[in-house]
Chain A
Amino acid sequence: MTSPLTRSRRTLLSAAGLSGFLLLWELALRSGLLPGSLVPLPSAIPRVFWYELIDGIWLEVVRSSLGHYSVGLLLGSSLGIAVGVSAALMPRFNALHAWLARLLRPIPPLAWIPFAIIWFGINPAAAAFIISIGVFWINYFASYSAVRSVDPDFDEVALAFGQRSFLARLTKVSLPAAAPGILGGLRAGLGQGWMTVVAAELFGIPGIGQRMMEASSLLATDIVVVYMLTIAGLYALFDFLFMLVQHRVLRWQP
């Protein structure tokens, strides 16, 4: 048995692990153990990031990626929640589309790229469409199971206190009771959508992914790493901001 770590010790160890990794990487390149054509020097990354920034390229590709990311996210999340909640509350609607959902669900978002290009062309709308598909399914299943697992006793309370209409029960019981699960789905979709952004852009839609492909064709691995870190950093930011909102909305939880 090891004794539990204190918070500061854990932070210290994590920082040591990350710096150790970067140090080993740097040393391996400088000593010639790793060929410089395969990976860039970690110490070169900040400078390359600075060049991308002052050229305005960084801002432009990030803005472009965020553009279709937010459209896809908004579309996929709102449709996913709407269909998932409806399916949970309306048995007929659920039965009607159950097989269709089972058929379409296993198709990965990227498998829709051919149709996205045929329908929208190689443009941001196609990327938004592909992103929305993955986000849709995550939110669909999360909100469906969240509403299905609402304690029926709460429904009886609503009935006993005169809240009989579908709308009243939806807004006073189903949605608030299922909120933790629905928000969990939204948060997972936030991550899944961001992963899809880059993949969708590898096919030439302007954004972070396209810039990475450009750089790799010139063997500019340092630029590739800059954008890999950008992806990680932006995701951490979204997730953090969403967590704040989630915490606020669910402040009733013990």
Chain B
Amino acid sequence: MNRPIADASPVLSAREVSLGFGYTPVLAGVDLTLYPREFIAVVGASGVGKSTLLRALTGLLPPQSGEVVIPAGNAEDTRAWSMVFQAPRLFPWRRVRANVELGLEGLALSRAERRQRALEPLALVGLDAYADRWPHTLSGGQQQRVGIARALAVRPRVLFMDEPFSALDAITRRRLQQELIALRRRTEAAIVFVTHDIEEAVLLADRVMVLGDQAPGQPARVVDTLEVDLPLDERRDHPDFAPLVQGVEARIGDH
């Protein structure tokens, strides 16, 4: 299990985060504290504001009220957070390696260091042999792996993943889920993982946060946060897996 290190300080603390579009409130009063190596999944019905929450936490959409702190750390060659999107969103005009280097540009790294830092995560996702290829020559699953490598390259303290596997076919999705479980042992990053797939959430996360709205037109709130206290390997076969999934399902269904 990847339990947070007891004496570490949080890598993300969000307090009372609220956000809306115009006069339409979308999210209200979300609190979240994350420690290194923690993995939290955010689930909820579609349109409830899961992706919006990610963007509020990163500042890509500044929250209307509340506060999010992601301490930057001291290193000049890392970034506090990075993101994997639902679609790979690689730059088609850059080769694979240059895509992975994107977040490293502007950090205190020489050209050679940058190249090296891009190759490491590419090797981690098994694509170092594809470094000089154009993105469009890769399959959808490979492109998404490059997206993951791009996010890992900056050695983030928090890795945000916005339904990263939902656009993939079932076989590729399963494989990438397994890779992500393996990857967790090799990174310090805390992970915030948005998904609409409850099984996926219970399969991967230490905690599952359920977003829901009390009534139509009301902003979404955190309905419940459930602990997943199962060993990471072969969770699917664990007798407690199915009841946990049903438990999360029930919490979403209530709202």
Residues on A close to B: CB < 8 A? 153-154, 156-163, 168, 172-173, 176-177, 179, 252-254
Known contacts A160-B58, A160-B82, A161-B82; A253 and B92 CB within 8 A of each other: yes
- Asked if A176 and B93 sit within 8 Å, CB to CB, the answer is yes
Q: With a CB–CB cut-off of 8 A, which chain B residues contact A156?
A: 60, 85, 89
> For residue B137, which residue of chain A has the nearest CB?
A254
Q: List 6 A-B contacts (CB under 8 A).
A: A157-B85, A157-B91, A161-B79, A162-B107, A252-B95, A254-B136
- Give the interface centre of A162, A176, A252, A253 by most chain B CB atoms within 10 Å: A162
With CB as the reference atom, state the residue of chain B lying closest to A160. B83
Inter-chain CA distance A179–B79, complex, in Å, is 29
Minimum CB distance partner of B83 in chain A:
A160
Interface majority SS (helix, strand, loop, mixed), chain B: loop
Query: Chain B contacts of A158 at CB under 8 A?
Result: 102
CA distance A173 to B90 in the complex (A): 11
A154 to B91, CA, bound (A): 7
Tell me whether A168 and B102 are in contact in the complex, defined as CB-CB below 8 angstroms, given that A161-B82, A176-B93, A252-B93 are known contacts: no
Query: With A and B bound together, what is the CA distance between A163 and B154 in angstroms?
Result: 13
The number of residue pairs between A and B whose CB atoms lie closer than 8 Å in the complex comes to: 56
Contacts A252-B93, A253-B92; is A161 near B85 (CB within 8 Å)? no
Contact indicator B87/A177 (Cβ below 8 Å)? no
Q: Which of A153, A173, A253, A254 contacts B87 (CB 8 A)?
A: A153
CA–CA, A132 to B83, complex, Å? 45
> Of residues 138 to 181 in B, which have CB atoms within 8 Å of A's CB atoms?
150, 154
Which size class do B's interface residues fall under?
20 to 34
- Which of A160, A161, A162 is most buried by chain B, counting CB atoms within 10 A of its CB? A160
Is B63 located at the chain interface by the 8 A CB criterion?
no
B253 within 8 A of A: no
Residues of A within 8 A of B94 (CB): 176, 252
Quote the shortest CB–CB distance from A251 to chain B (angstroms): 8
A sample of 11 more A-B contacts (CB under 8 A), given A160-B58, A162-B107, A172-B102, is A154-B89, A156-B85, A156-B89, A157-B85, A159-B60, A160-B60, A162-B105, A162-B106, A177-B93, A252-B134, A254-B134
In whole angstroms, what is the CA distance A162 to B107 when docked? 9
A160 contacts which chain B residues (CB < 8 A)?
A: 58, 60, 82-83
- In the complex, A253→B107 CA distance in Å? 29
- Decide if A153 touches B106 in the complex (CB within 8 Å): no
CB distance from B3 to the nearest CB of A (A): 28
Query: Across the interface, which residues of B come within 8 angstroms of A177, CB to CB?
Result: 91, 93
A159 surroundings in chain B (CB, below 8 A): 60
How many whole Å from B183's CB to the nearest CB in chain A?
19
Q: Are B89 and A157 in contact (CB under 8 A)?
A: yes
User: Is B103 at the interface (CB under 8 A from chain A)?
Assistant: yes
Q: Which residues of B contact A253 (CB under 8 A)?
A: 92, 136
